[in-house]
Amino acid sequence: MGSILDTVVIGGGAMGSAAAWALSRRGRQVTLVEQFGPGHAIGASHGSTRNLNPGYHRPEYVAMLAESLALWDDLEQESGDQLLSRTGIVTHGPEPLLPGIAGALTQAGIRAEFLPLEEAAERWRGIRFDQQVLHMPDGGQLNPEAALPAFQRLAVARGADIRHHIKVVDFQVMDDGVRLVLESASGTETVTAAQAVVTAGGWTGKLLAAAGGGALRIPRLTVTQEQPLHFRVADEGAVWPGFNHYPGTGAEYQGWYSPVYGMLTPGEGVKAGWHGTGPVVDPDRRSFQPEPVQLAALQDYARTWLPGVDADSFEAVSCTYTTTPDEDFILDRIGPVVIGAGFSGHGFKFTPVIGRILADLATGTRPAPEIFRASR
């Protein structure tokens, strides 16, 4: 006879860990299963830095951002861990949305100001600035290596069961719940649950396709292998905010183009990367090797725009993005299955809010904003 559970969270990365935390805070019985071990580097939630970039103008995201800033503070107090380093974020370049972003943030009580190029260059001499500079002091860097264990530890303290090295090998949706076959080193186990929360990152499409028989239809998810670089710091006296840059029109990038994001990762260098331009991959069959054309272009970018680094001295970082066609998240419930997906490239800053939304969906408290519906 298999186990009978209330809620099973499938996937123990950032969003699954936050969902377990949020559900446990409501007194719900929750079991989280993760196919890999703690702190693994195979998906999208590893590493010690993610920018908390406040640069949004759409009201749904600005509201989530304000809530997220408060929840990260709550999580730090509850866990006793420092999770956010408030270095500020600067976004620069010929991006026409920046004035609208500044206005939306200011209206929401989140600080944003335009700086003269000369002032920006004096404050952050490791960066060469372009045209307009929007400074957002409330931003900074989050630490996934500290945040994920904090979410899980606090969830366990409230009764959650966190199980690593457990793979879902069969997933059946029934009228009154779900049936899962779980595989581990000790064998297989069948469990039934009232509901499942699917937060499986790059594996979400595979999992839902196997389970839904067409019923669990969501926007297409594309998994890419991204390859940012940690450049060695050449100017030890430079101060580094998190940064985003729109370098021109993209004509010089041979048919592909994206903004560049970056931040200082203490002990590793200045991380910089293209946004969502890597090759499409199967998450189970990745090379983990840099795409050579984009790697060379990123070095060229650093030579021009990051005078504070050594563009010829770097370590490559490999991670996955899982994105929807419109780059909006998927947060919805279809029958007994709650789905959280498509966060890559800009989701980590919203992790505790996404945990709250997934818990709302699982408990029937309230729906997610319309822009995140699976049926959009």
* Start-to-end CA span in the chain (Å): 40
Asked if 229 and 318 sit in the same domain, the reply is yes
Asked if 198 and 243 sit in the same domain, the reply is no
CATH number where 242 lies: 3.30.9.10
CA distance 156 to 360: 19
Indicate if the pLDDT at residue 335 is higher than 60: yes
User: How many Cα atoms are found within 13 Å in the side-chain-facing hemisphere of 54?
Assistant: 34
Asked if 294 and 197 sit in the same domain, the reply is no
CA distance 68 to 149: 18
CA distance 282 to 207: 13
Pairing of strands 187-198, 337-341: parallel
> What share of the chain in percent tops pLDDT 70?
97
CA distance 312 to 306: 12
Instruction: Report, as an integer, the average pLDDT of 305-315.
Output: 98
- Amino acid identity of residue 160, one-letter, is A
Asked if 252 and 311 sit in the same domain, the reply is yes
Asked if 38 and 116 sit in the same domain, the reply is no
Q: What is the DSSP string of 47-115?
A: SS-EEE-----SHHHHHHHHHHHHHHHHHHHHH----EE---EEEESS-TTHHHHHHHHHHTT---EEE
Asked if 361 and 230 sit in the same domain, the reply is no
Asked if 123 and 231 sit in the same domain, the reply is yes
Asked if 364 and 341 sit in the same domain, the reply is yes
Instruction: Report, as an integer, the average pLDDT of 268-277.
Output: 96
- pLDDT attached to residue 1: 47
**pTM of model > 0.85:** yes
Instruction: Report, as an integer, the average pLDDT of 310-334.
Output: 97
Asked if 227 and 182 sit in the same domain, the reply is no
Strand partners, 321: 224
Residue with tokens 């071990």: 37
CATH number where 335 lies: 3.50.50.60
- Classified as helix, coil or strand, 42 is coil
Domain span at residue 207? 3-47+146-217+326-372
The number of distinct structural domains making up the chain is: 2
> Is 53 inside any structural domain?
no
Mean pLDDT of the chain, nearest integer = 95
CA distance 110 to 203: 35
Helix (H) or strand (E) holding 6: strand 3-10
> Is 75 inside any structural domain?
no
Q: What confidence tens digit (pLDDT) does each residue in 8-65 have? A: 999 999 999 999 999 999 999 999 999 999 999 999 999 999 999 999 999 999 999 9
Asked if 21 and 164 sit in the same domain, the reply is yes
- Tokens representing 269? 């260098």
